[in-house]
Amino acid sequence: MILELIATFCAALFAGAAVYINLVEHPARMSLGNGPALAEWAPSYHRATLMQAPLALVGALAAGGAWLAGGGAGWLAGGVLLGLVIPITLIVIFPTNRQLLDPATAGNLERVGLLLRRWNRLHALRSVLSTAALLIFLALLG
């Protein structure tokens, strides 16, 4: 039961943070204008990475462990969904992150705005996947 609780806890924290970023933090930063939004995005991105990467990894591993211990295919499915945020981040989102972190990008505020809007749409994938994993885990616990 401990693996299931760890997986659910990690998914809840990850999903909560991801949804908060998409629905609250990113719109607030964009309301400041493209230059200040970029200035806020970079440190926020670095700090969120330190929190969210371990949550996704530990949560996915715990769900996989719960499945291996006989917990059922739902734990595997939720673990895969939660774990998918890692390759999606590295393969799909990171090219946009790299552009946003490039000091040369800051000089083109129109491009900054386009990249930040793209980043939010891509980041929404993380919100959807982690929320789906959380809902599966909660249903399995309930």
Per-domain residue ranges for the chain?
2-141
Handedness of CA 68, 69, 70, 72 (dihedral sign): negative
26 touches 38 (CB < 8 A): no
Task: Indicate the angle between helix axes 94-101 and 109-141, nearest 10 degrees.
Answer: 140
> Which amino acid does the sequence have at 117?
R
Q: pLDDT band at residue 44, thresholds of 50, 70 and 90?
A: very high
> Which amino acid does the sequence have at 39?
A
pLDDT value of residue 8: 98
Interatomic CA distance for residues 23 and 6, integer angstroms: 26
Instruction: Calculate what percentage of the chain has a pLDDT beyond 70.
Output: 100
pLDDT value of residue 22: 98
Instruction: Calculate what percentage of the chain has a pLDDT beyond 90.
Output: 99
93 touches 22 (CB < 8 A): no
pLDDT value of residue 16: 98
> Which amino acid does the sequence have at 47?
R
Interatomic CA distance for residues 90 and 25, integer angstroms: 22
pLDDT value of residue 81: 98
Q: pLDDT band at residue 39, thresholds of 50, 70 and 90?
A: very high
What mean pLDDT is reported for the chain?
97
Question: Per-residue pLDDT averaged across 105-126, rounded?
Answer: 97
